[in-house]
Amino acid sequence: MDGVRVELIEDNLVIRFSSRVKCLSYAPYNGGLRETSCLLNHQVPKSFRKKPETELQSAIEELALPSDTVGFLTAASVKNYSQKSVRVNGKEVLALCTVGLSNARGVGESSENSSTINTFVVVEQTLNEQALVNALATAVEAKALAMFLLDVRSVTSSKPAVGTSTDALAVVTLGRGKALRYAGSATKVGSAIGKSVFECVKSGVAREASVVTRLCERGVTLDALFEAAKEGVVGKRPKGLKKRFMRELKNALSDPNVCALICAAMRLDDEASEGLVPNLKKSEYFKDSPKMLADEQIGEAIASYIAGTKGVNNFRYYDMLKPRVLRTLPMFLDDALCALVGATMVRVYES
């Protein structure tokens, strides 16, 4: 974008402007509504516990940046920043972000960890103060949507995360052209802001969307599934059980049909826990109401697909036993994983 220069200087992402511009942010240094000629995203260690203002003041002086610099802190790698540009009405909207998820949190969950998502939006078009506030809200919505669709989970509750507890964001207008009053999703500039931030955050997350990753975020590892499977063995355990189980398990989890059913179970648990499944009360969900058969049907589908009738029978066995991690899971996921474990064990013994 003309008049904007993005630089990486050691552990610092610096965004310079050729002239002073209007900026609205909730940055820890020079935040609020002000004019600035520079944005700084300064990387610190995950163990950082100093005062943000003092650290940023020192960084700004060391880098010889102007005193009006708006400063941000992050424990995420600034070298891995992502960038996305969208043009609207002949003018550009530029989004940049750095993403750290070790501090991912849901709504109302707090932490003092410094891993964060810092987002910077530069709008070439003139935005008045009202539109700047609107643009800030639009950018936050886009970030939250990206987190939701990528199924990022809170590191404390394993519920859907909407960001981290220390996220910060800045919107800058370069002041070119007629001033706009609105920048929400109903406007062209708002749409461009949403698209650029969404793609930027999605790229910055840079994570595998594997079902294994998503299970781990819910506290379910492959080793935990083996421990549950092992506990269900009657009599002497065969040699090489773990190796054989892991081979069959990974094979099952490489199949998109199995993954789709497990993902459906995870999403249903999210919906039902908030009372969003029609005609299923939250109280009924948490009591694993016997009127619900869909959870059992997901389990049967997984078990039958992997190991036929024997798989379904062994699913029933593990569903009654619910060993180890399997007894800690919510309604839909427990049946899905009881089926996965039961059917995998059938494949182990058949092989």
Least confident of 49-63, 105-119, 157-171, 187-201: 105-119
- Identify the pLDDT of residue 68: 98
211-350, CATH topology level: YutG-like (1.10.3760)
114 band by pLDDT with thresholds 50, 70 and 90: low
Q: Which two tokens stand for residue 163?
A: 């960001």
Is 21:35 a contact under the CB 8 Å cutoff?
Answer: yes
104 band by pLDDT with thresholds 50, 70 and 90: confident
Least confident of 27-31, 61-65, 163-167, 258-262: 163-167
pTM of the model: 0.79
Residue 208, pLDDT > 70, answer no
- Mean predicted confidence (pLDDT) in 154-164: 86
Residue 139, pLDDT > 70, answer yes
Mean model confidence pLDDT for the chain: 94
Residue 206, pLDDT > 70, answer no
pLDDT digits (tens, 9 = 90+) for 258-298: 999 999 999 999 999 999 999 999 999 999 999 999 999 99
pLDDT digits (tens, 9 = 90+) for 8-53: 999 999 999 999 999 999 999 999 999 999 999 999 998 888 899 9
Is 56:73 a contact under the CB 8 Å cutoff?
Answer: yes
Alpha helices in the chain (DSSP H): 52-62, 129-149, 188-205, 211-216, 222-231, 241-253, 256-273, 282-286, 294-321, 331-350
- Identify the pLDDT of residue 109: 78
Residue 113, pLDDT > 80, answer no
User: Which residue's entry shows tokens 């909407």?
Assistant: 162
111 band by pLDDT with thresholds 50, 70 and 90: low
Percent of the chain topping pLDDT 90 = 83
- Mean predicted confidence (pLDDT) in 60-67: 97
Which of residues 237 and 61 earns the better pLDDT score? 61
Q: Which two tokens stand for residue 65?
A: 């940046």
Residue 314, pLDDT > 90, answer yes
Residues whose CB falls within 8 Å of the CB of residue 78, separated by 6 or more in sequence, listed in order: 8, 11, 12, 13, 41, 42, 43, 98
Q: How far apart are CA 117 and CA 113, in angstroms?
A: 12
Query: What's phi and psi for 106, nearest 5 deg?
Result: -90, -175
Q: How far apart are CA 44 and CA 50, in angstroms?
A: 10
164 band by pLDDT with thresholds 50, 70 and 90: confident
Residue 103, pLDDT > 80, answer no
CATH number of 4-205: 3.60.70
Percent of the chain topping pLDDT 70 = 97
Domains 4-205 and 211-350 share a fold: no
